Structure 1
Amino acid sequence: MTERVLDRIMERAEEITALGPVNERLGRLDDEAAKVLRDSGMIRMLQPKAHGGLETHPREFAEAVMAIAAKDGSTGWVAGIVGVHPWEMALADPKVQEEIWGEDQDTWIASPYAPMGVARPVDGGYVFNGRWQFSSGTDHCDWIFLGGMLGDRDGNVAQPPTGLHLILPRSDYEIVEGSWEVAGLKGTGSKDIIVKDAFVPDYRAIEFGKVIDGSAVAASGHTNPLYHLPFSCAFPLGITSAVIGMAEGALALGLAYQRERTQITGTKVKDDPYMLTAISEAAEEIATSRSRFLDNACQMYDKVAAGKQITFGERAAGRRVQVRAAWRAAHATTEIVMRSGGNALRLDNPIQRVWRDVHMGLAHAIHVPGPVYHVSALTDLDIEPPLGPLRAMI
């Protein structure tokens, strides 16, 4: 089944590429681009089998995202972001899983997870308010995960802070049109979301700390190692893999463009040893990003499959791999584009769009290097990192 997903993607690769400029003009995925993802089974790769999902290996999911992103960054980004959400939904109450997938197993779920809302406790659940940015693919989704903080009875953030992921149907939130005016990944339609006094039943809330510490998956009863991966490994699966896939697409476009190109000096690129060296180095940087990222996911999967726990230090080291892979791939993309001359930056040349998309993807919070590198170095030194923001993305 997994092979068929990738086969279906590659069968429609030319269509994905052709729809890239259309997605960018629309400011969201074109309906046909979304249909390609639905038809391929891409969004069901991490979905539970009980609800028509495939429960594939994380490596296979990441490779599928890379393949799509290499053809169009926005389509790959939505495939990765929306494709990860069924992984967490598998940890949610069976009642909400049935609400979402009971009638249509191809129902999509949006996010963001950033805790930008406050959930005030009331009888049977919460009254929820907030505004969020960056809800990728949201126009094609009928449900959403939204991050929030547990509030007190007055609507203030309760102490000590408790993070929640709350699950809402499309009728309970507003998508803010015109809120996604950006330089890259325009086709993702990552618009703002507003929630005003929405009632969220208890069973549609997940305590984020229980996702992080593994108690949520223990309560779910899932035995597939896929669902026992740390959140900090599973969440970036679709994000970092999309950036690496875009870089692979940039390399393919760059090679095609440079093959017959003659520089202003009259020297053909194929005869310029400096250009060839730069192209070769960029290719190897992208290949290294891919292999390190995939190996990290496989190593964690193998460890949980053997019944072992992933330590905090291993999670920190894994996040370092992810962050460095994204930055390495982005730097290589810049090298490819800057070596392609001024004509590569003309708007009718797809290389410049890939360059913009890669750097927009690099700007995601999951790729901020400072805290991750800080914490991973401390753990390498056998020093316990302090509680607080340093640990937030690990």
Structure 2
Amino acid sequence: MTTNPDLPRLAAAARPVLERNRETNDHQRRLSDETVACLTDTGLLRALVPARFGGGECRLRTAIDATCEIAKADPSAGWVVMILGSGAFISGLFPARAQEEVYADGPDASVCTVLAPRSTARQVDGGWVLSGRWAPASGCLHAQWAMLGFPGGDGGGSLALVPMTELTVEDTWYTVGMRATGSNLLAGTDLFVPDHRVLPLSSAVHGRFPAGLPEPRYRAAVMPALASYMIAPYLGMATAVLDHVVAGADTKGIAFSHYERQRDSTAFQLAVAEATTKIDVARLIAENSAAVVDGHADAGTFPDQLARARVRLHTGHAAQLCRQAVDDLVTAHGASAFAESNPLQAYVRDIHAASRHAVANPASCSEIFGRALLGVEPNITDMI
């Protein structure tokens, strides 16, 4: 794994281009060609691609830091980077032949993912035949491959790598927040998937990786890695809102008070301090979780269920902290935050939508950890 300190710097430098396109992306419900080109040029979309194909194979902390910078400028772009990066990471667990097919045209090939097994499947000679409808498929409008869940394989479901050319994209993503992720529905009938493009998900989740995975990056615990990475867009959104609110505090007053500058108000000072604390704690969680995930991968060990459940617990808490920080900051800023011309309203919409992802649901994450801590079996999911 590589640290690649240039990746977060390049992501931060891309902010003007991403900010310029953000509103258009939101209205068009997809990332613009200029946005995607910018993400490609920074190297973000190949950050977690195996190095042997020309990818970055970077450490999780590096990917989190860089994706956070992208989400500051455009949360939907940050989310797509996270989803496609997750697809690159999981692709590194597949047999070598499948990886060679995915990256046959170079390291900038992208893989969108829908892990839920929303299909029918039957095993045939040499592979599987799938029919199904998979959603939401964030980033599918910019992907060349899709990684789709299906029931079968090892009793706990499997993942299939399918070329996007074999799938139909149905325009279903009409939402209030995260609109530009283009998280539409993928449909396919009688898709033949050869055995080498199938990964038993339950086996991977529990650390039973395919033979021939020498790189530490792809020996990482799957769900802890994905959950930790998911914190990055939340951090980016919350940090961007904090920066915007603080930047305006010297010129914006407080209505129906004698304060001509928000910065002079003790209540405002306390509000931004409390929000900053929440964001800082969320960032510490992300950094610690990344260190745990990569530390085990480097050592060739696999975290036990309690350790994996703790990462999931912390992800739910981090998502909640970032959302609360945004709400606190917007309240301190005032009602003008909800004017269409104010960028804050878009961040509010986006974080309230994104932080409701099932993997980051605080109640579910807490129950998963509580059961693991108390030894209650079975847990509510195998995706730990």
TM-score, structure 2 normalization: 0.95
Distance in 2 of aligned mates of 1:162 and 1:212: 10
Asked if the contact 1:91/1:220 (under 8 Å) is kept, the reply is no
The answer to whether the Cα contact below 8 Å between 1:129 and 1:197 also exists between their aligned partners in 2 is: yes
Q: Does 1:258 align with 2:252?
A: no
* Unmatched 5+ stretches in structure 1: 152-159
Does the residue aligned with 1:216 lie in a helix, a strand or coil? coil
Counterpart amino acid of residue 203 in structure 1: H
CA distance in 2, matches of 1:232, 1:386: 19
Question: Following the alignment from structure 2 to structure 1, what is the Cα–Cα distance between the partners of residues 364 and 317?
Answer: 13
Taking the aligned partners of 2:22 and 2:246, their CA distance within structure 1 comes to 19
Counterpart of 2:177? 184
Separation in structure 1 between the aligned mates of residue 304 and residue 349 of structure 2, nearest angstrom: 36
**Alpha-carbon distance in structure 2 between the residues aligned to 1:91 and 1:20:** 33
The residue that corresponds to 1:65 in the other structure is 67
- Report how far residue 334 of structure 1 moved: 0.7
Alignment of 1:210-229 (within 5 A): 210-217=203-210, 219-224=211-216, 226-229=217-220
Judging changes above 3 Å, is the alpha-carbon distance between structure 1 residues 308 and 125 closer, same or farther for their aligned structure 2 residues? closer
1:308 alignment partner, one of 290, 301, 308:
301
Q: Give 1:54 deviation, angstroms.
A: 1.4
1:144 corresponds to which letter in structure 2?
Answer: A
C-alpha distance after superposition, 1:239-266 (max 9, x if no partner): 2211111111111111123331111124
User: What's the CA shift for 1:142?
Assistant: 0.9
TM-superposed CA distance for 1:272, in Å, is 1.2
Deviation track 1:124-166 (CA, whole Å, cap 9, x = no partner) reads 1111011121111111111000111129xxxxxxxx9430101
Aligned to 1:155: none
Alignment of 1:138-217 (within 5 A): 138-150=140-152, 161-177=155-171, 179-217=172-210
1:9 CA drift (Å):
1.8
Equivalent residue for 1:392? 382
1:307 partner amino acid? G
How far apart are residue 106 of structure 1 and its match? Answer: 0.7
**4+ residue runs over 4 A deviation:** none
What letter corresponds to residue 143 of structure 2 in structure 1? Answer: C
Equivalent residues of 2:77, 2:180 under 8 A apart:
yes
1:234 corresponds to which of 212, 225, 230: 225
Q: How does 1:71-110 map to 2 (within 5 A)?
A: 71-110=73-112
Structure 2 residue ranges without an equivalent (≥5): none
Partner of 2:375, secondary structure, is: coil
CA–CA distance in 2 between the matches of 1:340 and 1:288?
Answer: 22
Q: CA deviation at 1:221?
A: 2.4
How far apart in 2 are the matches of 1:228 and 1:97?
A: 15
Q: Provide the rounded CA distance (Å) in 1 between the counterparts of 2:382 and 2:250.
A: 45
Q: How does 1:331-342 map to 2 (within 5 A)?
A: 331-342=324-335
The answer for the alignment partner of 2:239 in structure 1 is: 248
Preserved CA contact (<8 Å) 2:209 2:219 = no
What's the secondary structure of 2:118's corresponding residue?
A: strand
Contact 1:110 1:141 in 2 (8 A): yes
Note if 1:284 corresponds to 2:277. Answer: yes
Structure 1 303/203 Cα, relative in aligned 2: closer, same or farther at 3 Å? closer
Q: Match for 2:67: what amino acid?
A: V
Paired residue type of 2:289? N
Of the structure 1 ranges 235-244 and 89-98, higher mean CA displacement relative to structure 2 is found in 235-244
Task: Answer yes or no: is 1:354 the counterpart of 2:356.
Answer: no
Q: Which moved more, 1:87-96 or 1:262-271?
A: 262-271
The one-letter code sitting in structure 1 at the alignment partner of 2:227 is P
Q: CA RMSD in A?
A: 1.6
Q: Distance in 2 between matches of 1:227 and 1:302?
A: 13
8 Å Cα contact 2:220/2:302 also seen in 1:
no
1:320 to 307, 313, 334: 313
Task: Summarize the Cα distance change of 1:115–1:295 in structure 2 as closer, same or farther, 3 Å threshold.
Answer: same
Aligned mates of 2:284, 2:165 — CA distance in 1 = 42
> Which position in structure 2 is the counterpart of 1:14?
16
